[in-house]
């Protein structure tokens, strides 16, 4: 008989999201998704990358029912979501879109958070507690009574994040979260995803930011023309020059530097994949040359 730990491990090893051969066509006949099959596991932090029009945003919109696949099935926590309403799915899947103003419409920052919590059937006291907590966490307390339309780009992005995080969904999806953000705002986001991952959230990030993906995302999916063309460890996927050209991305800086070194005769640098590896490689190289002087 299996013990509790073994049963919990089996649950963890099951995909929390399954895309089973799904496709999606727009009314004009354009195929945006073609035969997508994909498993995403509980607690994963992963990226979806590709050029504009590759199908990335279309794919994530199927997760919370904003669009329904033309064919195929999607399962969340082993349930087929075809008959689930957007309201029901939004309790499990929180999507933060690239443009925050596509999801902000209340008269004040506080009302924006309250509106997001309404469908959760919480007591008035619980709603207010969550509002106060999230405003403090996202440094939005001083804007409590301000219209979302009067916030800066960075502040509106934070409010969009806060309006989803306060709902505590199990799956978080971010569409281009670092776009247009300064170093401080990107650091805030990185700390946020680290915190959410520590409590077991599944996190999916659509991004064109190769350096961000390379440094922080363990797994990356590359898409092109509505299909998945690669799925694997980020450092392996983003070092593949053929795949990078197919998706109109650029090689990570470490890879570019490695190629430049190889072209000058340093062939043993090919397997250097991280900044720390490169620092160690250059340090050893300098020490070796110094010892031969």
Give the pLDDT confidence of 64-79 residue by residue, as tens digits: 999 999 999 999 999 9
Averaged pLDDT for residues 231-252: 93
Of 163, 181, 180, the residue nearest 172 (C-alpha): 163
Q: Which residues pair with 159 in a beta bridge?
A: none
Q: Are the beta carbons of 259 and 278 closer than 8 angstroms?
A: no
Amino acid 3: pLDDT: 57
pTM of the model: 0.88
Residue 267 half-sphere exposure, CB side, CA atoms within 13 Å? 0
Sorting pLDDT into bands at 50, 70 and 90, what band is 285? Answer: confident
């Amino acid at each position: 008989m299996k013990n509790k730990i073994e049963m919990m491990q089996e649950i963890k090893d099951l995909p929390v999201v399954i895309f089973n051969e799904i496709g999606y066509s727009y009314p004009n006949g354009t195929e945006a998704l073609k035969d997508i099959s994909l498993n995403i596991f509980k607690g994963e932090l992963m990226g979806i990358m590709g050029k504009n029009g590759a199908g990335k945003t279309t794919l994530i919109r199927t997760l919370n029912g904003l669009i329904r696949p033309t064919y195929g099935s999607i399962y969340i926590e082993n349930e087929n979501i075809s008959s689930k309403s957007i309201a029901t799915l939004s309790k499990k899947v929180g999507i933060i879109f690239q443009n925050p103003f596509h999801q902000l419409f209340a008269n004040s920052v506080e009302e924006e958070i309250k509106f997001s919590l309404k469908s959760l059937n919480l007591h008035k006291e619980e709603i207010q507690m969550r509002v106060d907590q999230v405003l403090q966490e996202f440094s939005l307390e001083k804007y409590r009574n301000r219209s979302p339309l009067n916030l800066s780009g960075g502040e509106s992005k934070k409010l969009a994040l806060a309006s989803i995080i306060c709902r505590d969904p199990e799956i978080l999806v971010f569409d281009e979260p670092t776009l247009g953000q300064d170093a401080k705002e990107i650091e805030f986001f990185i700390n946020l995803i680290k915190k959410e991952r520590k409590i077991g959230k599944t996190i999916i990030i659509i991004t064109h930011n190769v350096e961000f993906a390379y440094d922080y995302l363990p797994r990356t999916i590359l898409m092109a023309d509505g299909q998945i063309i690669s799925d694997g460890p980020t450092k392996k996927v983003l070092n593949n020059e053929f795949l990078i050209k197919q998706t109109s991305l650029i090689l990570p800086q470490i890879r570019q530097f490695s190629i430049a070194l190889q072209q000058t005769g340093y062939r043993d640098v090919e397997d250097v994949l991280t900044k720390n590896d490169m620092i160690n490689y250059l340090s050893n190289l300098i020490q070796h040359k110094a010892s031969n002087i």
